[in-house]
A = this chain, B = another copy of it.
């Protein structure tokens, strides 16, 4: 899988290096206040790929994220081009003007050190942790629906001349090392025997074997894999799970877009929806005597609805108001009967996105249970039998989504099926 060797000039940052970097830039220095001797720097990265430093000074704080030249979880034996920091920054640049404040502010990009200096989000926590803890975030789902609508609409052929989209698509085509990870770990490995796979064993052994022998399911997953590679609808975040969202009760921010590329809008939708469903299925593993999490499960399903509905509502509103692109060019539709036909075509487009969302959600659920990278929603359930029961139920839902798509025409169909 590894594609690019680390650059020979690469130097990982340490606390002193972070201070030197920040001191060189008056704007960053001022944001922190005082001299670097008075700054508090700590490394907090817990992801698979990066160093993350929080720097606090007398006047303020900021965050420094540096891409490592290898997969942090695997060590230098699995090299990974730090050039992904370039794409992460490019994604923020493309989306921030349309993101409605739902991404962190970006202060500086250092191409030599592959690092991004950005807003320190506080008191935000990673949404996945909040979901495991059973916290409710009243605005999160509508924020995320709004976010995906804005980020995808404004980078699609519906919003702008195709030349701009094609140039951006060509730029992000360079992010192939990260796309390779998605292709292998989401759409291929989980469906066959791969040394990178793991699952809760022996409890899920039989299910894993069954799923890998389910030809109809594999064909359905492969169709979504093909769509992932060939359906260049919009600039995607590319890894929009609940670990890529930071929240408070009133604010939500999308982070870590290093997997950005041009693909099907349903992939971002499905990543988020799939992770909400994974959270739902993991809840029995987090039940306590005081809280069996059944009310919280209902809340999660409401969020699934709100996420889709706010996406749907906002995307259609943007299309009506800002549909200035080459697709469905406005000048074609000035006739008396056109508004009704257009409305119907747009609804059909939304139905296609809905179906894509569910298919991709299923692929994301399966890879988190049978593939290489798992999620803490399940991993933090200590008792294997209990964890396996939660995972098995999630797998079963994912299989229904992939093999019986005709059963899921609306978000109600999804919610009712999960609940029953």
Contact = CB atoms under 8 A, between A and B. Distances in A.
Interface stretch (A126-134, A214-222, A371-379, A409-417): A214-222
A59 interface: no
Interface in A262-300: none
Nearest to A326: B183
A231 B341 CA distance: 23
A94 interface: no
Interface residues of A, number: 55
Given A327-B230, A338-B215, A167 B173 contact: yes
A345 interface: yes
Given A166-B173, A176-B162, A231-B230, A215 B157 contact: no
Given A167-B173, A327-B230, A331-B192, A345 B225 contact: no
Binding site secondary structure of chain A: helix
A335 B217 CA distance: 12
A154 interface: no
B342 A219 contact: yes
A205 interface: no
A212 B191 CA distance: 49
A101 interface: no
Given A170-B174, A188-B326, A230-B231, A342 B215 contact: yes
21 contacts: A157-B230, A162-B229, A166-B179, A167-B173, A167-B176, A169-B173, A173-B173, A188-B326, A188-B332, A192-B331, A192-B332, A213-B336, A213-B337, A218-B333, A218-B335, A218-B338, A225-B328, A229-B326, A229-B327, A230-B232, A230-B233
Interface of A: 3, 156-158, 162-163, 165-167, 169-171, 173-174, 176, 179-180, 183, 187-188, 191-192, 212-213, 215-216, 218-219, 221-223, 225-226, 229-233, 326-329, 331-338, 340-342, 344-345
